[in-house]
Amino acid sequence: MRQIFVPLVPLVAPLLLLWAAVPPMAAAAPTQPVVLELFTSQGCSSCPPADIAVAKVADRPGVIALSFNVTYWDHLGWKDTFARPEFTDRQVAYAKALGQGSPYTPEVVAGGRAGGVGNTPRAVDDLIARGRTTATTFVSATPGKVSVGRGVAPRRGADVWLVSYDPRVIQVPVKAGENTGKTLPQRNVVRGLKRLGSWTGQAASFMAPTVDPSLRAVVIVQGKDAGPILAVATL
């Protein structure tokens, strides 16, 4: 039998040209951690189930759980030991941004995009899924400095926040109000909230205050007036 050998070069060359004409696939942007913000109060009898549900996901990869204690229950007999007016202001801003009317407890806001009662594991899981998205910029943080890269900013720009929180489970004995006689476990309690500046889409750096070494911190780049969270970095 006579064998016919076909030269490979004429066949390979057109294939190489075809491969070169096809643009490489862009790498998918990584999904950023979901910031899960619980607005709670030690004086609210409906809050302990939400405190527990959010605490259970605090160690889950891809989730940053934060507990903001608000002040508007303080007049009912028990002054919340962790509440601050700026935490209440943050929830009020969310109520307006998410079209929810008045703030309420317990409320869980995920990624600055979705809010709900969040008092069961299933409800918390649903909020995490609704709040998950890809970052629109890159943020890095080192002690004393925060850097935000170029990226896509909302039309009105964004705020850069530094949040410090206590990672421990803190047992709080309540001696008055709706939870009289109960000891409430609270985890990832926010101890400080500071706005570092504005971001408009260009690379920028910000000075950051020193965080107590017993606390952890997270930097949040977020659309103005409690808009969607655009990027997150832990410190």
Residue-range domain boundaries for the chain:
31-234
Q: Which pLDDT score is estimated for 19? A: 38
The one-digit pLDDT tens for each residue of the chain (235 residues) are 333 333 444 434 443 333 344 344 334 456 799 999 999 999 999 999 999 999 999 999 999 999 999 999 999 999 999 999 999 999 999 999 999 989 999 999 999 999 999 999 999 999 999 999 999 999 999 989 999 999 999 999 999 999 999 999 999 999 999 999 999 999 999 999 999 999 999 999 999 999 999 999 999 999 999 999 999 999 8
Q: Can you give the pLDDT at residue 215? A: 97
Helix ranges (DSSP H) in the chain: 9-21, 48-56, 85-97, 121-131
Kindly state the helix (H) or strand (E) to which residue 144 belongs, with its residue range: none
pLDDT for the residue numbered 143: 87
Q: 177: how many CB neighbours lie within 10 A of its CB?
A: 20
What per-residue confidence (pLDDT) applies to 29? 52
The pLDDT value given to residue 235: 85
- Tokens, residue 176: 């008055």
Separation CA 80–CA 44 (nearest Å): 10
Distance CA 202, CA 205 (A): 10
The pTM score is 0.87
- From the centroid of its chain, how far is CA 30? 15
Whose CA is closest to 201, among 133, 136, 140? 136
How many residues in total does the chain contain? 235
Superfamily (CATH H level) for 31-234: Glutaredoxin (3.40.30.10)
d(CA 159, CA 176): 38
Identify the three-state secondary structure at position 98.
coil
Distance CA 110, CA 116 (A): 9
- Would you state the pLDDT for residue 93? 98
Three-state secondary-structure class, residue 7: coil
Spatial separation of the C-alpha atoms in residues 36 and 115, rounded to whole Å? 10
